[in-house]
């Protein structure tokens, strides 16, 4: 073991290493926000994956002893997390979304959108689950939203769209891992550009929405992620504006549009004060996600076109 681990005493069990990692992360003042929001959960995610144990491990099983090889691997990853400020998900190659594991690396953002909660609730009460036959996930990245939607709506066809060929490579890995090759299709497209006249019952998107100034000020952990997944231009709304102006042409009459805009929510409201955005609330945290119906989008088109001039 390294010197720091020796100073903390002899460590042997899963519990020992989770608590040791928690202390190391607190002392190092690392930033959390890539699937966890505290040092204990971050340490647990890293340790449990490294020793090939489930995240819901029984209390008694926490006393399982680690092999010397496992100890060295855990210590090395904890120290790398501190020294390089890489998100833990990249170090272990996995992140959870809507209760399911996804492969991730630095070609995609780490899944963490509150949209997961909406998917698990089948977008209720805004649309009837039995009326959903086609779903579009714009800016899919790892494919987590698209694949989670396919699990929630097993009979629906899902298109997973991204402009990044690298991101789509990761998306395809996850499509195969979740046995969704017959239901989820990865498509390279600049938003709606390659979708022709395709229409959907649900369009969901977690697009780049961070303004330039905010992006530059983000903690170091975020700068390990692809900048393309964050940067929404000077206002943060470059892609959101396009989605709003074009989505109605790709929604079925009773369809819905769900978009995460995070910290750009206030800017969006200032730009489109007459648009009846429905801002969704989440039991497990998160904000900055709006919903519009197809009818509302059609009615708002003159306003979107006016602001885009």
308 has a pLDDT exceeding 60: no
Give the 3-state secondary structure of residue 95. Answer: strand
Average of per-residue pLDDT across 1-21: 76
Percent of the chain with pLDDT over 70: 96
Per-residue burial over 239-272, b if 16 or more Cβ lie within 10 Å, else e, is bbbbbbbbbbebbbeebbbbbbbbebbebbeebb
| φ and ψ of 231, to 5 deg | -70, 115
All CATH 3.40.50.150 domain ranges in the chain, comma separated: 99-308
What is the model's pLDDT at position 306?
55
pLDDT tens-digit map of 248-264: 999 999 999 999 999 99
For the domain 99-308, what is the CATH code? 3.40.50.150
First to last CA, the chain: 62
**273-305 pLDDT per residue, tens:** 999 999 999 988 889 999 999 999 999 999 887
CA 173 – CA 151 distance, rounded (Å): 16
* 139: nearest Cα among 121, 157, 113: 113
Q: Max CA-CA distance within the chain? A: 68
Mean pLDDT on 144-172: 98
Place of tokens 């990692």: 21
pLDDT at 6 exceeding the cut of 50 = no
- For 60, half-sphere exposure in the C-beta direction (CA atoms, 13 angstrom radius) is 0
User: Per-residue pLDDT averaged across 199-219, rounded?
Assistant: 94
Q: What angle do CA 193, 194, 195 make, to 5 degrees?
A: 95
Residue with tokens 């102006």: 245
Contact 296, 242 (CB under 8 A): no
pLDDT cut 90: percent of the chain above it: 86
CB atoms within 10 A of CB 161: 25
């Amino acid at each position: 073991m390294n010197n720091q681990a020796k100073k903390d005493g002899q460590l042997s069990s899963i519990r020992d290493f989770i608590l040791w990692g928690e202390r190391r992360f607190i002392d190092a003042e690392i930033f959390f926000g890539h699937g966890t929001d505290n040092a204990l959960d971050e340490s647990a995610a890293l340790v449990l994956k490294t020793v090939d144990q489930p995240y819901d491990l029984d209390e008694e099983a926490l006393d399982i002893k680690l092999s010397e090889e496992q100890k060295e691997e855990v210590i090395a990853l904890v120290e790398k997390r501190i020294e390089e400020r890489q998100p833990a998900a990249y170090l272990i190659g996995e992140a959870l979304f809507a209760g399911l594991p996804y492969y991730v690396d630095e070609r995609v953002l780490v899944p963490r959108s509150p949209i997961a909660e909406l998917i698990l609730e089948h977008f209720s009460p805004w649309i009837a689950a039995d009326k959903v036959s086609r779903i579009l996930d714009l800016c899919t990245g790892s494919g987590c939203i698209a694949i989670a939607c396919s699990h929630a709506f097993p009979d629906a066809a899902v298109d997973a769209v991204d402009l990044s060929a690298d991101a789509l490579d990761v998306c395809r890995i996850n499509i195969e891992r979740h046995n969704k090759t017959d239901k989820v299709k990865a498509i390279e497209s600049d938003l709606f550009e390659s979708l022709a006249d395709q229409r959907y019952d649900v369009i969901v998107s977690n697009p780049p929405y961070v303004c330039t100034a905010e992006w530059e000020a983000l903690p170091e952990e975020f700068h390990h992620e692809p900048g393309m997944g964050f940067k929404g231009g000077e206002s943060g709304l470059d892609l959101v504006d396009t989605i709003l102006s074009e989505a109605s042409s790709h929604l079925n009459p009773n369809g819905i549009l769900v978009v995460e805009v995070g910290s750009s929510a206030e800017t969006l409201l200032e730009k489109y004060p007459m648009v009846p955005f429905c801002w969704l609330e989440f039991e497990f945290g998160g904000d900055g996600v709006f919903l519009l119906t197809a009818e509302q989008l059609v009615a708002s088109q003159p306003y979107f076109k006016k602001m885009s001039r």
